[in-house]
Structure 1
Amino acid sequence: MSFIQKLNRAWCESNSLLMVGLDPDTTRLPVELKDRPDAIFEFCRRIVDATAPYVCGFKPQIAYFAAARAEGQLEDICAYIRENHPELPVVLDAKRGDIGATAVQYAKEVFGRYGADAVTVSPYLGSDSVEPYLDWEGKGVIVLCRTSNAGGSDLQFLETDGIPLYMRVADLVANKWNRNGQCGLVVGATYPNELAAVRKAIGDDVPLLVPGIGAQGGDVAATCAAGCNSKKQGMMINSSRAILYAQGPGDWTEAAGQAALETRDSINAHR
């Protein structure tokens, strides 16, 4: 099953547009895990199991694993999701962007070593830097467009012939690179006007990975109004810290599950 097929099925079967980001900060792990050699894997495993009923997928951020020399644990959690929650896609958040020969190796890493269903990439080096990912049949390639951070405006708002660069990227991805229906775009919840403009420009079929709710302060109602397609789907609305490190009356896994449930229900109430 391709990434897009798996994502479409997850939207329907889970009744959720929520994606949980796996950003295991070693300084914030529960005390009970801190001395374990597999602490990062175990933390992510428990988060995955607690939140899986309420999500449309998971987005591990490779930097958190690599900084802790835990790439092996990233392999393990990707394998765990494939084996125990095979209906949920895994998007590896790597934001890769390099020349074609190097991109070939990055694609092998993402889709071969980690077995991810999709990857985030930068469009800055152009089509030949993205092509190696597109060569992997059925795998998703999610291109940075209008990112959720304030500094994204430094380049993404630059105009060419009166059109901002992020809209050029949206057009390029939707109408040229997406020839096999593999592509998506990253557009932040923190910029609902730009999110609406991108959705209008690309139509219904290109999925959007939407970071920025939760800890970054993006508004759920505005995000749903701006980014949903005509089927009231079309988005992977990511939340990481607000779910991973949620506080509640029970233990941390129960708190994470409750936070995921409440976030899913909030999204559903506005779409």
Structure 2
Amino acid sequence: MNTKSPSFTQQLHAAWASQGSMLCVGFDPDPKRIPASLAGKPEPIFEFCKAIADATADLVCAFKPQIAYFASQGAETQLKKLISHLKTQYPYIPVILDAKRGDIGSTAEHYAMEAFERYGADAVTVNPYMGFDSIEPYLRYSQKGVIVLCRTSNPGGSDLQFLKNSSTGEPLYLEVAKLAASKWNASGQLGLVVGATFPEEIAKVRNLVGDMPLLIPGIGAQGGDIAATVKAGSIAQKLGTGMIINSSRAILYASSGEDFAQAARKVAQTTRDALNAAAK
């Protein structure tokens, strides 16, 4: 299906090296918070995200648009235009479509088409609750990344993720990590979502999955500790790699004025530098 090269993980390793960054900027465009200066534009969501992408592109290892923020506004065309802009202007920066899809195989085929063919994303987030057959259709796109929810940063994540396997005594999120690092990783392009609000769990996952990429939300507005996160998720002897550490709202809404893009860049640069300092 997809024979393009390089693969998602190759893109990611190249970005870590060339950009000198573990920071990912997430696009969660809330129309209520988009600067008034863009209100009269025909495509305000696109213009908002494009301006921030252009202001921060030299500071990141990835971009992560959240599909719900676009779809709720009927702005799928703007999302497609944004990803096209990112891939055209910054082809060396992988784009992760944050969709958290999770459905039976026949439906997952269409979600995979949506992410990789309609939008052209390099990777997509998926929910593993329905098991391997709901993930397998994404793996048919052998060059694309599939990032599986493991230990999420939201407070309610513990409701299910901490339930213990009666045979092994391990919590569910570690069982997911084991499967992702072994028989699920048929394409070699899997990653895991592990929240920055639980650094001890990040360390446990890292110990299980080796150098598998970890997408780590939860710093910035959610309050995750940068130093603890970097320490927990680092790969031995490969500091500054292995993690895609996302910040969305803290960067996007650094200013509500006409200087929003410059303010976003300032916060992104401060965050990038803090992440790099913690990796030393």
Q: TM-score range by the shorter chain?
A: over 0.9
Equivalent position amino acid for 2:40 in 1: D
TM-score, length basis structure 2 = 0.95
- Tell whether the 8 Å contact from 1:186 to 1:210 is kept in structure 2 after alignment: yes
**Aligned AA (2:232):** A
1:57 is matched with 62
Q: State the secondary structure of the residue aligned to 1:65.
A: helix
Question: Is the contact between residue 23 and residue 240 of structure 1 (CA under 8 Å) also seen in structure 2?
Answer: yes
Q: CA deviation at 1:179?
A: 2.7
What residue number does 2:261 align with? 253
Q: Percent identity over the alignment?
A: 60
What letter matches 1:189 in structure 2?
A: A
Report if the CA contact (8 A) 1:243-1:260 is conserved: yes
Residues 32-47 of structure 1 mapped to structure 2, 5 A cutoff: 32-47=37-52
The residue number in structure 1 matching 2:232 is 226
CA distance in 2 between counterparts of 1:180 and 1:132 reads: 11
Corresponding residue number in structure 1 for 2:188: 181
- How far apart, CA to CA, are the structure 2 residues paired with 1:11 and 1:236? 9
- Paired letter, 2:244: M
Matches within 5 A, 1:188-207: 188-204=195-211, 206-207=212-213
Aligned residue runs from structure 1 range 84-233, under 5 A: 84-160=89-165, 161=167, 162-204=169-211, 206-230=212-236, 231-232=238-239, 233=241
1:259 positional shift = 0.6
Structure 2: tracts of 5 or more residues without a match: 1-5
Q: Give the number of the structure whose residues are more often helix, by fraction.
A: 1
Q: Compute the displacement of 1:35 (Å).
A: 2.1
Aligned-pair distance for 1:270?
Answer: 0.3
Contact 1:248 1:255 in 2 (8 A): no
Show CA shifts across 1:38-85 (max 9, x none): 000000000000010100010000000000000000000000000001
Q: Which residue of 1 aligns with 2:80?
A: 75
What root-mean-square deviation, in Å, do the aligned CA atoms of Structure 1 and Structure 2 show? 1.1
> After the TM superposition, which parts of structure 1 deviate over 2 Å for at least 4 consecutive aligned residues?
247-250
- Residue 239 of structure 1: aligned partner: 247
Over residues 103-152 of structure 1, what are the superposed CA-to-partner deviations in whole Å (9 max), with x where a residue is unaligned? 00000000000000000000000011000000002000000000000100
For residues 77-110 of structure 1, the C-alpha deviation after alignment (integer angstroms, 9 at most, x for no partner) is: 0000000011100000000000000000000000
Contact 1:184-1:207 within 8 A present in 2 as well: yes
Aligned CA distance change for structure 1 residues 170 and 36 (closer, same or farther; 3 Å): same
State the 1:247 CA deviation.
3.5
Alignment length, in residue pairs? 270
Shift of residue 37, structure 1, vs aligned partner: 1.9
Contact 2:105 2:134 in 1 (8 A): yes
The 8 Å contact of residues 35 and 257 in structure 2, kept in 1 or not, is answered as no
Q: 1:113 to 1:19 in 2, by over 3 A?
A: same
C-alpha contact (below 8 Å) 1:189/1:223 kept by paired residues: yes
